[in-house]
Amino acid sequence: MMESLAPRPPMAGIPDRDYNAACGRLASRLGISLAAARRRVDIRAAQESLRDTPSRIALAERMTAEAEASGVDNAAMLTAMLQALSSEENFMTED
């Protein structure tokens, strides 16, 4: 007997190229992935009740400017955090 096939949900739309570029600049500045940057922009857009793409692009650009103005270099900070201390550089964990 054939089972009834449930209709598939519509596929997610392809994001705007300009929106991805704006989120990519934010991701590069913060040293995070594009998906994480888009999620940050989406969350802040929801908080500010922004729904259209041009306003989200403007928000991403504003967030990038805020990150640059803060003077914090997140990529350098992450690199410094990942470096081993001289007292621990030969430490190995057991497999």
- pLDDT tens digit string along 65-79? 998 888 777 767 777
Alpha carbon distance 49, 63 (integer Å): 16
Res 3: pLDDT: 58
What type of residue is 40?
Answer: R
Which whole-number Å values give the CA distances from 84 to 49, 79, 81, in the listed order? 43, 10, 8
Radius of gyration of the chain (CA): 20
pTM of the model: 0.65
- Ramachandran area for residue 29 (φ above 0: left; ψ -120 to 50: alpha; else beta): alpha
pLDDT per residue as tens digits for the range 80-95: 777 766 666 666 666 5
Total residues belonging to the chain = 95
pLDDT per residue as tens digits for the range 21-61: 999 999 998 888 999 999 999 999 999 999 999 999 999 99
